[in-house]
């Protein structure tokens, strides 16, 4: 399975279960994809004004 946006593409193994909503992906942190790209590459490296988390 590939998870991607304009910033990165991360390839992962996925298992469909009834414990995660359809259209969602749960992944442990930190996760590096099968292609060597970390899951965090999908979010910009810019902090939010409130809380300091990623945008």
- Rounded Cα distance, 45 and 28, in Å: 19
- Rounded Cα distance, 38 and 28, in Å: 11
Which pLDDT score, from 0 to 100, does residue 7 have? 96
- Mean pLDDT over residues 23-51, rounded? 88
- Rounded Cα distance, 13 and 34, in Å: 8
Backbone angles phi, psi at 2, to 5 degrees: -115, 130
pTM of the model: 0.74
């Amino acid at each position: 399975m590939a998870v991607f946006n304009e910033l990165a593409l991360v390839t992962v193994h996925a298992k469909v279960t009834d414990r995660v909503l359809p259209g969602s992906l749960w992944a442990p942190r930190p996760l590096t994809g099968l292609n060597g790209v970390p899951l965090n590459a999908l979010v910009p490296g810019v902090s939010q004004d409130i809380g300091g988390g990623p945008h």
